[in-house]
Amino acid sequence: MEQADFLELFERALAAHQVLVFFCSCEIRYSGRAEAFLPQGDRVILIKEDQTLIIHQPINGNPINYLKPGAEIRVEKHQGHLLLKAKSGKDYLDVELFKVHDLMTKKLEDGQKQFLQGNEKDMSDMIKTQPSLISDDFRPVSREEHTKFGFIDVFGHDGKGNLVVVECKRYTASLACVTQLRRYVEKMKDLKGTGKVKGVMASPSISTNALGMLQQWGFRHVVVEPPKRLERYNKDQRALDAFLR
């Protein structure tokens, strides 16, 4: 693709807040929270309407370089080829464009948000409405969602005069998760001036080391799966899919 053609289309699309994608051979310098250099190779560059800049190599899931939304982006001629210079906050990206293979631009119309279920919040909600998931005598004191005594997921008491702090994790609980629970329990003991505070880790599973530390602190692990209400629908889809194959 010709330099002049690219430059014109690029400027116009950028000004019109279109989305731009192009294939190119380039070399990249990054400076900001860290410093990086990526030698010449073919990449995909995506510029969104909010001036997000994302650069992908032909393999791997994550972008190799990027700038957050709101970047200042411009292209200038530099020693026979083009130089894309961009800045977002403290981060700077310089992309030497040796060759632009192909470019695609379009104004995209969206504005939808994704509905997502099965996160940690859904898990703690489930425990509040089904306290027996923790124990027969567990009584949650719903109320506090984010702050009050901290960021405790579910807080309550049992029938033996103990306060109970529940920490939910949607994945295998690790050492870090247990220290988090420990921190909350100690905060609660401090605030309430009592030693009768129990810790419960609610997660689908827990690593061996984490379980060891949990028990060392006299805490309990309870197996709880994150709720996925759309699961049946999707299961059906998968079954149908397998049938059609």
Partner DNA sequence: TACTACATCTCGCAT
Partner DNA sequence: ATGCGAGGTGTAGTA
User: Given the structure tokens 């929270």, which residue do they identify?
Assistant: 33
Selected from 80, 115, 136, 193, the binder of a second copy by CB under 8 A is 115
Selected from 69, 77, 101, 159, the binder of DNA by CB under 7 A is 69
By the rule CB under 8 A, 222 interacts with a second copy: no
By the rule CB under 7 A, 221 interacts with DNA: no
By the rule CB under 8 A, 109 interacts with a second copy: yes
By the rule CB under 8 A, 207 interacts with a second copy: no
Cβ of residue 161: shortest distance to a second copy, in angstroms? 28
Cβ of residue 209: shortest distance to DNA, in angstroms? 3
Give the contact letters, 178-207, x = binds to DNA (CB under 7 A), - = no.
Answer: --x--x---------------------x-x
The DSSP secondary structure of 187-234, one letter per residue, reads: HHHHHHT-S-EEEEEEES-B-HHHHHHHHHTT-EEEE-PPP-TTHHHH
Cβ of residue 60: shortest distance to a second copy, in angstroms? 7
By the rule CB under 8 A, 12 interacts with a second copy: no
By the rule CB under 8 A, 31 interacts with a second copy: yes
Q: Return the exposure string of 173-209: e unless at least 16 CB atoms fall within 10 Å of the residue's CB, then b.
A: bbeebbebbbebbebbeeeeeeeebbbbbbbeebeee
* SS3 of residue 183 by DSSP: helix
Q: Which of 160, 105, 169 is nearest to 138 (CA)?
A: 160
Choose among a second copy, DNA, none what residue 204 binds, the Cβ cut-off being 5 to 8 Å by kind: none
Distances (CA, A) of 61 to 52, 57, 222: 17, 9, 34
Cβ of residue 41: shortest distance to DNA, in angstroms? 15
| Residue 151 burial (CB count, 10 A) | 14
Distance CA 172, CA 57 (A): 31
Q: Which residues bind DNA (CB under 7 A)?
A: 30, 32-34, 36, 60-69, 88, 91, 93, 114, 116, 118-121, 145-147, 150-151, 153, 167-172, 174-176, 180, 183, 205, 207-210
